Amino acid sequence: MTQRQFGNVTVETVQGDIANQPDLDAIVNAANAELRMGGGVAGAIHRAAGPGLEQECIPLGPIKPGQAVISGGHHLPNAHVIHCLGPVYGRDKPEEKLLASCYREALLLADQNGIVAIGFPAISTGIFGYPIEEAADVTLKTVAEVVPGLSNVRTVRFVLFSESDKAVFDRALMALPADL
């Protein structure tokens, strides 16, 4: 695990499965607009949560790129799931602003719901095609900017599927200035 402190908030990276993070209050889903099961992260989260998650989510959709909504965790070990629709790289523009909006909205929603520890996957970097290096820079810069203004969130964990994606996030995390 790699960690950095931004005010009262620890930002950390691990390699693993976002659907298997039992010590977090909330996990974030790289969702589709309709908030249906899907593949990748969404498939893993919906499989672990059970069909009640999709039943709760469908009436909350459709959502737009950059938007986030919150639901219960159902059979997940986490009390909440925050569903974000990332931009499709090359289609939903400006990608950078829309990706930043996902992280900002998810963190604000978490804070409003009293969530202390939250885990994110690398939104948009799978099926949606966002290059991992570019995504890591936008993501970590946004998180470091937003976390000093939060009252409840104390841990932000990035759960990366591969060692190589974790290495990219680690480099971007370490490259951030101490004060943003």
Rg (CA), the chain: 15
Task: Say how far residue 128 (Cα) sits from the centre of its chain.
Answer: 14
Asked if 153 interacts with ligand AR6 (CB under 6 A), we say no
Among 24, 123, 143, 153, binds ligand AR6 (CB under 6 A): 123
Q: Which of residues 46-85 bind ligand AR6 (CB under 6 A)?
A: none
Query: In 3D, which of 41, 47, 39, 50 has the Cα closest to residue 18?
Result: 41
Please state whether beta strands 155-160 and 9-15 pair in parallel, antiparallel, or not at all (unpaired).
parallel
Q: Pseudo-torsion of CA 113, 107, 69, 162, nearest 10°?
A: -120
Among 41, 63, 138, 144, binds ligand AR6 (CB under 6 A): 41
Among 6, 26, 28, 32, binds ligand AR6 (CB under 6 A): 32
Residue with tokens 């402190």: 5
Among 12, 92, 165, 170, binds ligand AR6 (CB under 6 A): 165
In the complex, which residues of this chain contact ligand AR6 (CB under 6 A)?
17-19, 30-32, 38-42, 44, 86, 121-128, 159, 161, 165
